[in-house]
Amino acid sequence: MTILGIDSSAVSVGAAVCDDDRVIVSGFINNKITHSQTLMPLVETLLADAKLTLGDIDVFAVSAGPGSFTGLRIGVSAVKGLAYALGKPCRAVSTLHALAYNVPLFDGIVCSAMDARCSQVYNALFRIKDGTVTRLCDDRALKTDELREELREKYADERIMLVGDGAKLCYDSFGGGSITLAPASIRLQNGIGVCLAAKGYPDISPAALMPSYLRLAQAERERLARTAAQSGT
């Protein structure tokens, strides 16, 4: 099964094509140029380098969230359009789950963390044993000090690896000892992780593919706060 995996959940953007566990081609851009300018040219270049066409893709997978509101919409919209035009299925992959596949040879707890601003991270925990990734909790948004306390209480005696664009934030807050930071070269979200994680997700139609934000956008939170303040006066 040939999978095209796309991640546009953060500042970087990545894409890859995998055939089962074999990575055929992958690409990664981290230059802060908007994904609307970089994503599709990246996909086109990768397919050309692999001597493949979009018709050769069996499944289109995308990191559907959590992550940047704009970035997620761009990636999801791209995959919806490609899959719909070709009559192919989609797979909506958790960004945090895909990140765990960055370090498949690590045995221990993988703490996937994405910077959610305001001293918060989008987070999920996974256990990797002999290359098998097992989810330990749902995707959630929580403060870094809450995550620190959970790791200390539940996993104090285990090796912990931090991955994701929020990993450095967490490491600076509570790293050290048994908590290590993944090397920069394999720390961030990428298309390979999406492809590998996608094997465990069901096929869905392009119409059913939607982003998963975990929390409201900043503008919506501010609007609700204003409304609540006005109703209380």
176/205 same-domain check: no
pTM of the predicted protein model: 0.92
Q: Which of 186, 206, 225 is the last residue of a domain?
A: 186
Region 88-109: mean pLDDT is 97
DSSP 55-93: GG-SEEEEEEESS-HHHHHHHHHHHHHHHHHHT--EEEE
168-221 pLDDT tens trace: 999 999 999 999 999 999 999 999 999 999 999 999 999 999 999 997 544 444
104/181 same-domain check: yes
Region 22-34: mean pLDDT is 95
Distance CA 114, CA 123 (A): 7
pLDDT at position 219, please? 44
Residues in the chain: 233
Given a contact cutoff of 8 angstroms between Cβ atoms, the answer to whether 11 and 32 are in contact is yes
pLDDT at position 185, please? 96
58/76 same-domain check: yes
Region 133-140: mean pLDDT is 98
168/203 same-domain check: no
Q: Which of 186, 201, 225 is the last residue of a domain?
A: 186
18/74 same-domain check: yes
Bridge-based pairing of strands 120-129 and 140-143 is antiparallel
Kindly report the CATH number assigned to the domain that includes residue 31.
Answer: 3.30.420.40
65/26 same-domain check: yes
CA dist list (Å): 19 to 36, 105, 184: 26, 20, 26
Residue that has been written with the tokens 């919506």 in this structure: 220
Q: Which residues pair with 13 in a beta bridge?
A: 29
pLDDT at position 225, please? 47
pLDDT at position 228, please? 52
Displacement of CA 200 from its chain's centroid (Å): 15
111/146 same-domain check: yes
Given a contact cutoff of 8 angstroms between Cβ atoms, the answer to whether 232 and 98 are in contact is no
> How many domains are contained in the chain?
2
Q: Which domain holds residue 6?
A: 2-95+189-217
